[in-house]
Structure 1
Amino acid sequence: MKRVVITGLGAVTPIGNNVQEYWHSLVNGVSGASPITKFDTSKFKTKFACEVKKFSPEIFEKNEIRKYDLFAQYALVAVDEAIQNARIDIESINRNRVGVIWGAGDGGLATFEEQFSEFKRGDGTPRFNPFFIPKRIVNIASGVISIKYGLRGVTYTTASACSASNNAIIDAFNYIRWGKADMIIAGGSEASITESSVGGFNASKALSTLNENFEKASRPFDMTRDGFVLGEGGGALILESYEHASRRNAVILAEIVGGGLAGDAYHLTGTHPEGEGAVLGMTLALEEAGINADAIDYINAHATSTPTGDLSELKAMEKVFGIKPNANISATKSMTGHLLGGAGAIEAIACIKAIQENIIPPTINTEQVEPDFANNFNLTLGKAQRRTVNFAMSNTFGFGGHIASSIFKKYID
C-alpha cells in the first residue's frame, strides 16, 4: 500500500473565507452565527444560521457564475485555494491519474427552490433556466472541478449526508494507496441555508431556536443544548501518493493513515443511543492506522449540539478511548455551525492545522457538560490549548446512519 499525504488545503467557511482566516477564528473561539439574510425568517422558528460572509467568487468570469449554484461556487473557490496552496502546475501533471471525489448532501437546493417557486407563481408554462438541471444535481461540483482543471481520473460525488466529505476524503485515500490515482482533490461543500432546509429541520426539531442568544446556540455536550445551528461553505484537500508529492517537491502538510466507514443501522435521523456505529467506525480507523487509541492526541468530534447525538458520541468515545483518555476533544461546530455535507472537509482541515501548529481549537459556549461525562474527557472548553499533536481523528455521522472516521498524522520524512 502507498503512503498518502496532504499537500494543499482550501476553505470557505462562516468564520473565514480562506484557511488562514478560518484557522485564526477557530483558535480564537469566534462564533459564525448571525441572523439569516438569505430569506425572510419572520414566520420561522429559527431565525439565525452560520452564513458565509462577504463571499466574492473572483475566480469566475461574469457570464460563468450563472452556471453554478452557490454550493458549487464554494467548492470551486476552496479548490482554487487548495491548488495554489499545493503549488500544483496543472499542465505538468498526468491528468489521467488525477481525480476529484467531492461530498455534498443537498446539492443545488437553493436553485431548485428558486426555479420551482418561479414556475408555481407563473401560468403553468414551464419556463426553466437552461442551467436548472446541472445547477441543482448533487454531483455537479465534482464534475465542474474536473472540467475546470481537465482532470480525467476517478471523479464522483459521495452523498452520505453529514458524512459526505469525510467519506470523500477516505475514498480518495483508498484510491491513492491502492495505486489507482496519483492525486485526488477531495472535500465537500453545501449551501443549504434556504427556506425548505430551515423549515424542514425545524419540523424535525433538529435546529436550535435560541434566537435571543444565537451566538451561543451551538453548545455541544452542554446540558441545555437544543439543536444544531445550520452552516454553509466548503473545504478542499489535495491528497497525493508520497512518491508523487516527492517527485514534484511538494510541501507535505500531513499524512492520512486511517479511515473507518460503518453504518449505525438504527434510525433514519438519529444515532444509535449507545454509539455502536461510531464505535465501529473509530475502531476500524485505528486498526487501519496501526495505532492504539491512546496514540490519538486530538479528536474533532461530530458533536452537532443535538440532545441525543452528542450523548451517543460521548458514550462511543468512552468505549473506544476509555475514561480520561490522552486525547483532547473539541467540537468546532460550536463556531462554524453544521455544514452538513461540507462538515467533514473543514473539520479535517482543523485536524491538519492542529497537527501543524500543535494547538487544539476550543469548544465554545459549553458551560454545563453532561454530568455523567463532565470529568471523563478534556473537551477543550472555552480556550484553545497548546500540546503536541502527532495523530488527530475526525468524526462525522450522517442521517441514515452513515459513519466516517479519519485519522491524520504529523508528517515525518
Structure 2
Amino acid sequence: MRRVVITGMGALTPIGNSVDAFWENAIAGTSGAAPIKTFDASKFKTQFACELKDFKAEDHLDRKERKKYDMFTQYALVAVDEAIKQAKIDFENIDLNRVGVIWGSGNGGIQTFENQLKEYHDGDGTPRFNPYFIPRILVDIAAGVISMKYGLKGINFAPVSACATSTTAIIEAFNYVRWNKADMIVSGGSESPIGAATIGGFGSLKALSTKNDDHATASRPFDVNRDGFVMGEGAGALVVEELEHAKKRGATIIAEIVGGGMAADAYHLTGTHPEGEGAIRGMNLALEEAEITADKVDYVNMHATSTPNGDVSEIKALDAVFEKRNSLLVSGTKSMTGHLLGAAGAIETILCAQSIKHQMVAPTINVENFEEACKNSYNFPVGKGVPAKVDYALSNTFGFGGHIAAVLLKRYEE
C-alpha cells in the first residue's frame, strides 16, 4: 500500500488567518470568542461566537468570485490558496488528471439560504431569486470551485457527516491516494454558519453556551461548569499526497497520515453514546490501520466541544482505548477556536501536524475545575502550550447522526 503524506496546509480560523498565526495563538492559549458582529443577536439566548477577526474577502478574492460564492466557499478558496503555496505545487509539471479535491461542509451555504428567503419574505411576493442562489447553497460547490480554479481533474466530491465532515474528507483523501486512485488530493472543510438560523437552531437544542457576560471563557471543555459549545467559522485545507510523488517534486513533508477510522454511534440523533462506543471503534480502527498499539500515541486532539455529556463520553472512550494515561497528552482546542462544525476536523488535524512539526502541544483553556472523570488521568496542558515529544498524534471528530471519524498522523521518517 502506498504511503501518504501532508505537503501543504492552510488555515482560516477565529484565532488566526493563516497556519502560522493560528498555531502561534493556539500555543499562547488565545480565546476567539467575542460578541457576534455578523447579525444582531441581542434577542438571542447566545449573543457571542468565534468569528473570524480582521478578515476581508476582498483582500483575497475578486468581485466576481465574491458575488458568485457563499462565504463557506470563499473561506475554502482562501485556505486552499495558502496550502497550495506552502506545498509549492507547479501544476504545469504534474498530471492534473491524478489530482483531486475532496472538500466538505456541514451546512454549505446556509447564510445564503437564510438571506435569500428573508429577502423574498420581506418583499412584495414576487419571486426575485438570485441566479446564483442554488449553486451558492450546495454543499459540494466548494469542491467543484476549487477544482475549476486550479484545473484539477481527478476525484472530486463532498462528504457530509456533520461535525465529522472534514475529518471524513481527509480520511477519504488518504484512502484514494494510497489505493492509487490519485497522486494528490486537496482536502479539508469550510464553514460559515454564524447567522440567526444556526444560532437560534442550536440554541433551541440547548447545545450552545449562554455565558454572554463571560464569553471569552465560555468554551471550557472538561470543566464542571461547562454549559455548551461556542459556534465558530473558518476553513482548514491540506494537500494530501503520495510519498514518492511528493519526493519527486521536492516537496517538504510535514507529516505522514497512517490511519483513519470511521464508525457510527447508532445511538441518538444529536448526542454521543454515553460510553463512547462509536469513538472507541473509530480510534481502534485508526490504530489498527496504522499497525500500532495505543501506547505509541503521544497526543490526542479531542472532539471536546464543551457540552456536559459529550466531553465525558469521549473521556470514557479514551479510557477504553489507552492504558498509558498520565503520559498521554490530550487537549480540547475548541476552547480557543469554538466549534467550526464541518471544518473542525481539518483545523484540528492541522494542529496535530503542527504538534509533530514543532514538538509542542496546544492547550485547553478556561478549565478551572476538572470534571471528575478527568481527574488523575491523562496529561492536560492548560492555559499555554507545552513542549512535548510527539511522534504520533490522533484527532477525533463526532457529528450529529452518530458519525465518528478519527485520523492518525505520524512524524515522517524515510
Deviation readout 1:329-385 (Å, 9 max, x if unpaired): 011100000000000000000000000000010000011111132111112122211
1:13 aligns with 2:5: no
Provide the residue aligned with 2:241 in structure 1. Answer: 240
Distance 1:63 1:133, change over 3 A: same
Distance 1:352 1:373 in 2: 25
The one-letter code of the counterpart of 1:223 is V
Distance 2:84 2:223 in 1: 38
The one-letter code of the counterpart of 1:2 is R
Deviation readout 1:234-270 (Å, 9 max, x if unpaired): 0000000001101101111110000000000000000
The one-letter code of the counterpart of 2:371 is E
Provide the residue aligned with 1:349 in structure 2. Answer: 350
Distance 2:343 2:325 in 1: 30
Secondary structure of the structure 1 residue equivalent to 2:309: helix
Deviation readout 1:15-37 (Å, 9 max, x if unpaired): 00000100000000000000000
Provide the residue aligned with 2:196 in structure 1. Answer: 195
What's the TM-score, normalizing by structure 2? 0.99
RMSD of Structure 2 on Structure 1 (CA): 0.8
Provide the residue aligned with 2:209 in structure 1. Answer: 208
Q: Which moved more, 1:50-59 or 1:218-227?
A: 50-59
Deviation at 1:75, TM superposition (A): 0.2
Provide the residue aligned with 1:391 in structure 2. Answer: 392
Secondary structure of the structure 2 residue equivalent to 1:100: strand
Distance 2:129 2:396 in 1: 40
Provide the residue aligned with 1:41 in structure 2. Answer: 41
Deviation at 1:59, TM superposition (A): 3.0
Q: Which moved more, 1:318-327 or 1:139-148?
A: 318-327
Counterparts of 1:63-142 in structure 2 under 5 Å? 63-142=64-143
Distance 1:93 1:163 in 2: 31
Distance 2:263 2:387 in 1: 32
Secondary structure of the structure 1 residue equivalent to 2:101: strand
1:321 aligns with 2:322: yes
Q: Do the aligned partners of 1:294 and 1:325 also contact (CA within 8 Å) in 2? A: no
What's the TM-score, normalizing by structure 1? 0.99
Deviation readout 1:128-172 (Å, 9 max, x if unpaired): 111111111111110100111111100010110000000000000
Aligned residues: 413
Secondary structure of the structure 2 residue equivalent to 1:326: coil
Deviation at 1:64, TM superposition (A): 2.3
The one-letter code of the counterpart of 1:83 is I
The one-letter code of the counterpart of 1:302 is H
1:263 aligns with 2:264: yes
Distance 2:56 2:383 in 1: 31
Secondary structure of the structure 2 residue equivalent to 1:74: helix
The one-letter code of the counterpart of 2:105 is A
Deviation at 1:295, TM superposition (A): 0.5
Provide the residue aligned with 2:183 in structure 1. Answer: 182
Deviation at 1:125, TM superposition (A): 1.1
Provide the residue aligned with 1:155 in structure 2. Answer: 156
Structure 1, unpaired ranges of 5+:
none
Q: Do the aligned partners of 1:323 and 1:376 also contact (CA within 8 Å) in 2? A: no
The one-letter code of the counterpart of 1:42 is S
Distance 2:262 2:243 in 1: 23
The one-letter code of the counterpart of 1:86 is A
1:30 aligns with 2:37: no
Percent of residue pairs identical: 60
Distance 1:373 1:55 in 2: 37
Distance 1:381 1:320 in 2: 23
Distance 1:90 1:138 in 2: 26
Q: Do the aligned partners of 1:9 and 1:19 also contact (CA within 8 Å) in 2? A: yes
